[in-house]
Amino acid sequence: MTTPVVLLLDPIPADAVGDALAESFRFAGASDPILSAFDAGAGRGDGIFETLGVNDGRARGIDAHLDRFAASATKLDLPQPNLPQWRAAIERVLGELPRTGQASIRLVLTRGNGGTPTCWVTGSIVDGDFPERTTGIRVVTLSRGYANDVGEHAPWLLVGAKTLSYAVNMAALREAKRRGADDAVFVSTDGFALEGPTSSLLLRQGDRIVTPAIQHGILAGTTQADLFDVLTAEGFTCESRRIDTRELLRSDAAWLVSSVRLAAPITAVDGTDVATDPELTARMNAALLG
């Protein structure tokens, strides 16, 4: 099989085992028509997804991604995914990807058309070497339009779920480019830094590493969690808390981190250069790739 790889999953109950599981996959061609024009995922972005980073044939953080996938399904009142089925699907797609180099795997579950979810997994080779892991990214701060505690008061906004409704996130990236930057950091209306449109925010302040706490309306990042383990083992104190937007300018280093691009050091915020830590960035990316 050549990449990209597409594997369709028959939706099965979350607790189904045995034969139901074994017979629930089908490979498709990359340009096969797998989706109805009436699918809620296509028409309304009503569904959830996950993107996993793959290096040399191994996917990072499968458990963490599956846990977040299940949590997103709960938040959207979608049927619970059968996690052994999705894990087996990831393994099948991994088996079709090259044994060396970087790739990504995406899990998608939509509300489907008429009550049955539509489910698929794709695998794609990642082109290029992500020069921004060393050269860095310039970011602009962009309002998310609500206060940092919105998740507690308006759960229907789904702030902590990884939904297919990413049009706003993509618009923020285009706005960042229009302003001459590479990426964005969303900020709350009450002045707190939240996350990037497709990434989590990490700051170094001396021997402390801080990230916005998830109760403040952001996605729980799997890369951030892995880096907290790595950095705690290095002797850093890692904490999740509210982060005043002004801290972006006065930290010793800042990164946007995510599963495929990994740790991209922030070199400028709203046109002002900020401090970077190239050695620590290199260690973080080596650990994520290792």
Beta strands in 126-244 (DSSP E): 137-143, 183-187, 193-195, 200-205, 208-212, 237-241
258 lies in the site for ligand PLP, by CB under 6 A:
yes
Residue with tokens 């650990």: 287
CB of 217 vs ligand PLP, minimal distance in Å? 10
- Pick the closest to residue 130 from 251, 259, 279 (CA basis): 259
Handedness of CA 157, 197, 6, 15 (dihedral sign): negative
200 lies in the site for ligand PLP, by CB under 6 A:
yes
Q: Which listed range, 21-29, 84-92, 143-151, 191-199, lies at the site for ligand PLP (CB under 6 A)?
A: 191-199
Binding marks (x or -) toward ligand PLP, 46..75, rule CB under 6 A? -----x------------------------
User: What values do phi and psi take at 281, rounded to 5?
Assistant: -60, -45
Read off the tokens for 289: 């790739």
For residues 28 and 214, which CB has a smaller minimum distance to ligand PLP in the complex? 214
CB of 106 vs ligand PLP, minimal distance in Å? 10
CB of 27 vs ligand PLP, minimal distance in Å? 25
For residues 22 and 168, which CB has a smaller minimum distance to ligand PLP in the complex? 168
Residue with tokens 């994520």: 288
Q: List the interface residues with ligand PLP, window 218-257 (CB under 6 A).
A: 219, 221-224
Read off the tokens for 220: 């729980």
Query: SS3 for 17?
Result: coil
- Sole binder of ligand PLP in the list 90, 111, 195, 251 (CB under 6 A): 195
Which residues in this chain contact ligand PLP in the complex, by CB under 6 A? 51, 195, 198-200, 219, 221-224, 258-259
